[in-house]
Amino acid sequence: MVSGEPVVDIDTVAEAAVADQDVAIARKDSGKPEKPIHALASMLGPAFIAAVAYVDPGNVAANLTSGAQYGYLLVWVLVLANCMAVLIQYQASKLGIVTGKSLPQILGERMGSAGSFLFFAQAEVIAIATDLAEVIGGAIALNLLFGLPLLVGGLIIGAVSTVLLLFQGGKTHKIFERLVIGLLLVITFGFIAGLFMDPPNPLKVAEGLIPRFNGGASVLMAASMLGATVMPHAIYLHSTLVNDHYAHKAHKPSIKEMLHGSRIDVVWALALAGSVNIALLVLAANSLHGMGGTDTIEGAQHTISQVLGPTVGTVFSIGLLASSLSSTSVGTYAGSEIMKGLLHWNVPMWACRITTLVPALVVLALTSNPTEALIIGQVVLSIGIPFAVIPLMRYTHNKQIMGKYVDGPVKHAICLLVVAVIIALNLVLIVLTLMGKA
């Protein structure tokens, strides 16, 4: 040993390393950021993917039809639905973050085999209704842009969306997130562009915030809008997305940090989706109200082209196409996670894609009014919402599941009120339909 050279004590180094590790763990548990990688920006993304479900072609049909038929009458329905969506999607992300499991997983663990299968069956019907809207909307967009037959357009949508799904999961999940968010931005521009050409009267928009209906048909339309806004598959999926987001990251933030990031993620994403939905209704109320032939997406697009110019009509069609591609990919992703959680079946993504795509193609081949089929599909979605929100609110109020992050009595009361509003609207819808008044 050279004289004067410092002596390295291995035990001292080991103790220092352990101490540093303890400090890091304590810092993580305290909820304080540890490294720049845990910055807020790295936690954004899951809610934006879920938000795609809120701006799918079903929204386009329901909102355009509502605005064209009833003017600004049902603006309040969209505002109320979006507020409920913010709460519901945050609850879904909270459940996933705290438990590390998805809502379908927890349901599968707490239900028997028969119960899990029946619950899966209704969820699969919802998934088919979801894909019906997505595929029909994309087929209509390709028909408007390139004159393709609807069935051919549906096949193209199915093929392209399957390619997008290849990036879902694993190390390419981040690419999937970016692709979907990019399509969301295209949707936003495509559907809001018309408002800049023909700005609405703010006072008339404000009048639409007063809750009211105008006959049974408007209740049916409100239920369709609710089904298009609060999406069951987005509730199931969001609890998975928050964990998939960190699956291949070296560092994972604390629960406290993730909940904070998720709140901001949900508010930003749903504010964007809500703005697009309201813009669609306002566009129709301002430019299409009282005009003939606007009860279909094709008719509305042609009228938009005539009133606002062919450029705006083309941009609208591009937004519709982006809406279809992104939402059908997210819908299939949700269906796969529902099957995995409830039945513990790891079915290939392409098989899930075929299961929901075939019924949509059959409807495209047989229907003479695809927009009407699309709106009926949104009503089916509305009926499926309680099956997702009731267990979600129960579990987030269960201390055994949530621990110290369990919902307090005030928040739980608000959640129950939201569930009650949704169920009440659906019951009214069912009664009116059975009476033939809707």
Q: What is the length of the chain?
A: 438
How many Cα atoms occupy the beta-carbon half-sphere of 308 within 13 Å? Answer: 25
Nearest Cα to 384, choosing from 137, 121, 105, 112?
Answer: 121
| Contact (Cβ atoms closer than 8 angstroms) between residue 165 and residue 349 | yes
Domain boundaries, the chain: 40-434
Selection from 11, 7, 80, 168 nearest residue 417 by Cα: 80
- What are the start-end ranges of the H helices in 30-149? 46-51, 57-70, 75-99, 103-110, 113-146
CA 395, CA 390: separation in Å to the nearest integer?
9
CATH class assigned to 40-434: mainly alpha
**Lookup result for tokens 């357009």:** 153
Nearest partner of 359 among 148, 124, 59, judged by Cα = 124
Taking only Cα atoms into account, the Rg of the chain, rounded to an integer number of angstroms, comes to 24
Cα–Cα dist 336/313, whole Å: 35
What token pair was written down for 422?
Answer: 């949704």
429 near 224, Cβ under 8 Å? no
Residue 142 tokens, joined: 């390709």
For tokens 């950021």, name the residue: 33
So what's the pLDDT on residue 1? 45
Kindly report the backbone phi and psi dihedral angles of residue 111, in degrees, each rounded to the nearest multiple of 5, phi listed first.
Answer: -115, 150
Q: What is the pLDDT of residue 405?
A: 97
pTM greater than 0.95: no
Alpha-carbon gap, residue 93 to 72, rounded angstroms? 33
Per-residue pLDDT of the chain (438 residues; tens, 9 = 90+): 444 444 444 444 444 444 444 444 444 444 444 444 446 667 778 999 899 888 888 788 888 889 999 999 999 999 998 999 999 999 999 999 999 999 999 999 999 889 999 999 998 888 888 888 889 889 999 999 999 999 999 999 999 988 888 877 666 777 888 888 899 899 999 998 889 888 999 999 999 999 998 887 888 888 778 766 778 888 999 999 998 887 766 678 889 999 999 999 999 999 999 999 999 999 999 988 878 777 788 888 998 999 899 999 999 999 999 999 988 888 888 888 888 999 888 888 888 888 888 988 998 888 777 877 776 776 777 778 889 999 999 999 999 999 999 999 999 999 999 888 888 877 776 777 667 665
